[in-house]
Amino acid sequence: ALILGLESSCDETAASLVTSDRRVLAHRLAGQEAAHRPFGGVVPEIAARAHVEVLAPLVEAALADAGVTLDQVDAIAATAGPGLIGGVMVGLVTGKALAHAAGKPLIAVNHLEGHALSPRLSDPDLAFPYLLLLVSGGHCQLLLVEGVARYRRLATTIDDAAGEAFDKTAKVLGLGFPGGPAVEAAAARGRPIVPLPRPMKGSAEPHFSFAGLKSAVVRAHDAKTWEVDDIAASFQAAVVDCLLDRTIRALDHAGGATALVVAGGVAANTAVRTALSGLASDHGLRFVAPPLWLCTDNAAMIGWAGAERFAAGLTDPLDIAPRPRWPLDPGAEAVRGAGV
Ligand code: ATP
Ligand code: MG
Ligand code: FE
């Protein structure tokens, strides 16, 4: 099947054409970094307007790149949440309009399912179930991925997401926006010599926490005794330590997992990938991480999740509502009032 995928849940507008035999025929992406940079973070209203302006031309460009018309598409997959509601509405309404006009089925995709299944687009051998570390701008979770639409959440963050910690650290250190790649570049120049805490490390609870680490970065920076690059290197080492410790704990509860998998924007970080790869080989597990372009937001992962859902017979009515919050595992208990 041929799926048109649309993504607009944060500050990336994207359109892609993906086949169920894993060919990415087109993937177009329009970032909005320049528009948000003066504010040091994503401004929802600016993001929504930008999505409105660029999504339709991006769809046309993607169709042209792939050399197909809308008539040849089998289904249209659009992110329906979670994310910034204005942007999600733009993508979902566009998907509905195209589906209605072309008489094609609509697939409302959970953005997190896009991240969660993206490793199966790049790796045809990745089978269910697998243990997934989902690390992105808004989420930090360990999930047992049992199948399409079947997720068991083993852990989540009780405060900040991992990517959020990178972004806040970049802001504190004056490294600019977006923060993850800037902190990684600074860390490569620095030495991990600044003492920083590892929140939740060794805890009997399964969850993550990064707020205390961020506060410690603020104090280290205020002390004016450390080089920025050294603070960045120490912060990154602490995050990697926390991710590893929590993943090791989850492995005890992930019986039957065929692979250790990482996805989401923070999965683009080389130190994170290297550490997890080592952990997987220690446990005799395969390690799977998507290529960097598939880690950060894109529409190929939405098209791919659409292809997986389409194959499972999962399509959605045209009156489906966008969801700013939408947990992948609705059965998972809320954690101390934190989000999903
Ligand atoms: P979510 O998927 O939770 O809704 P999002 O879509 O905004 O959030 P992604 O696009 O998946 O998040 O990931 C963006 C996050 O990844 C940002 O916080 C960014 O700083 C982080 N990130 C990107 N590249 C790197 C990197 N090389 N090292 C560390 N973090 C990175
Ligand atoms: Mg982004
Ligand atoms: Fe994302």
pLDDT tens digits for the chain (340 residues)?
999 999 999 999 999 999 999 999 999 999 999 999 999 889 999 999 999 999 999 999 999 999 999 999 999 999 999 999 999 999 999 999 999 999 999 999 999 999 999 999 999 999 999 999 999 999 999 999 999 999 999 999 999 999 999 999 999 999 988 899 999 999 999 999 999 999 999 999 999 999 999 999 999 999 999 999 999 999 999 999 999 999 999 999 998 999 999 999 999 999 999 999 999 999 999 999 999 999 999 999 999 999 999 999 999 999 999 999 999 998 886 675 554 4
Give pTM, 2 decimals: 0.97
Closest atom of ligand 1 to CA, residue 11: 7
Residues 6+ apart with CB under 8 A from 279: 244, 247, 248, 260, 287
Closest CA to 286 of 258, 307, 244: 258
- Classify 263 as helix, strand or coil: strand
Structure tokens at 128: 């269910």
Distance CA 65, CA 85 (A): 29
Is residue 297 marked as binding? Answer: yes
Distance CA 20, CA 310 (A): 9
- Classify 265 as helix, strand or coil: helix
Distance CA 44, CA 131 (A): 32
Structure tokens at 18: 């993906």
Closest CA to 228 of 191, 277, 273, 283: 191
| Residue to substitute in 296, 326, 340 for testing ligand 1 pocket (most ligand atoms within 8 angstroms of CB) | 296
- Classify 27 as helix, strand or coil: strand
The reply to whether omega before 290 is within 30° of 0 (cis) is no
Closest CA to 50 of 97, 99, 86: 86
Closest atom of ligand 1 to CA, residue 296: 10
The reply to whether omega before 197 is within 30° of 0 (cis) is no
- Condensed to tens digits (0 to 9), the pLDDT of residues 212-222 reads 999 999 999 99
Distance CA 257, CA 264 (A): 19
Is residue 227 marked as binding? Answer: no
Q: How far is the CA of 124 from the centre of ligand 2 (A)?
A: 26
Q: Half-sphere exposure (CA, 13 Å, Cβ side) for 227? A: 11
Cα 152 to the center of its chain, rounded Å: 17
| 222 CB burial (10 A radius; 0-12, 13-18, 19+) | exposed
Is residue 135 marked as binding? Answer: yes
Is residue 111 marked as binding? Answer: yes
Closest atom of ligand 1 to CA, residue 297: 10
| Single-letter residue type at 320 | I
Beta strands in 177-278 (DSSP E): 259-263
Strand 259-263, strand 130-135: pairing: parallel
Which protein residue has the closest C-alpha to ligand 1 atom 31? 180
CB distance 159 to ligand 1 below 6 Å: no
Q: How far is the CA of 137 from the centre of ligand 1 (A)?
A: 4
Instruction: Indicate if the alpha-carbon torsion angle 306, 311, 314, 318 is positive or negative.
Output: positive
Q: What is the CA radius of gyration of the chain?
A: 20
H runs (alpha helix) in 15-161: 33-36, 44-66, 85-102, 111-122
Instruction: State the maximum Cα–Cα separation within the chain, in Å, rounded to a whole number.
Output: 64
CB distance 168 to ligand 1 below 6 Å: no
Which protein residue has the closest C-alpha to ligand 1 atom 16? 265
- Condensed to tens digits (0 to 9), the pLDDT of residues 94-131 reads 999 999 999 999 999 999 999 999 999 999 999 999 99
| Single-letter residue type at 11 | D
